[in-house]
Amino acid sequence: MNETLLDALEIEPGDHVLAIVTGEDEARLIGEYVAACMKREESCSVIASSDKLGMLESTVAREGVDVDEARGRDKLAFVDPVSVGQQDGKFDMQAFIERMRGVFADVAAGGVEHAHNCGSMGWLHEVTDDMDDAVYLEAHLDEMYEGQPLSGL
């Protein structure tokens, strides 16, 4: 039996892993990860810029996931973070963090054993050129995952 990426990384609830990959490797990594989550009957959300969401959805489908069926069972969601972080017509990092904190709290309150969040962080370049914003976001994500039935890649 082949070991999945999810098994190889040994990602457990509360973990937040930063994998630095680009291009086709990024799409393949996310596709494999989501497919492994779906095979385990665990929930997964994919966060990426709107221009990447379609490609990532196709990659997940090529990995054998019935995307429509998984969405229908609320096991899989594709999220555009720029839309989530809109505040008064522009992106607001704090608004994004607070909304994601609410999403994570809702997931945890739903009694799931383990839900996954993965994504392409390239969307940050659409809203900021300041690396401090990326560090700020990653620090808050670390804190949001800790002690929750959630993990992030």
pLDDT digits (tens, 9 = 90+) for 36-48: 888 888 888 888 8
Judge contact between 119 and 57, C-beta under 8 A: no
CA distance 60 to 68: 11
Query: What class has domain 16-152?
Result: alpha beta
Domain residue ranges in the chain: 16-152
Stretch 23-31: mean pLDDT, rounded? 79
Mean pLDDT over the full length of the chain: 83
DSSP 5-23: HHHHHT--TT-B------H
pLDDT at residue 5, as a whole number:
60
pLDDT at residue 1, as a whole number:
37
Predicted structure pTM score: 0.79
CA distance 99 to 36: 27
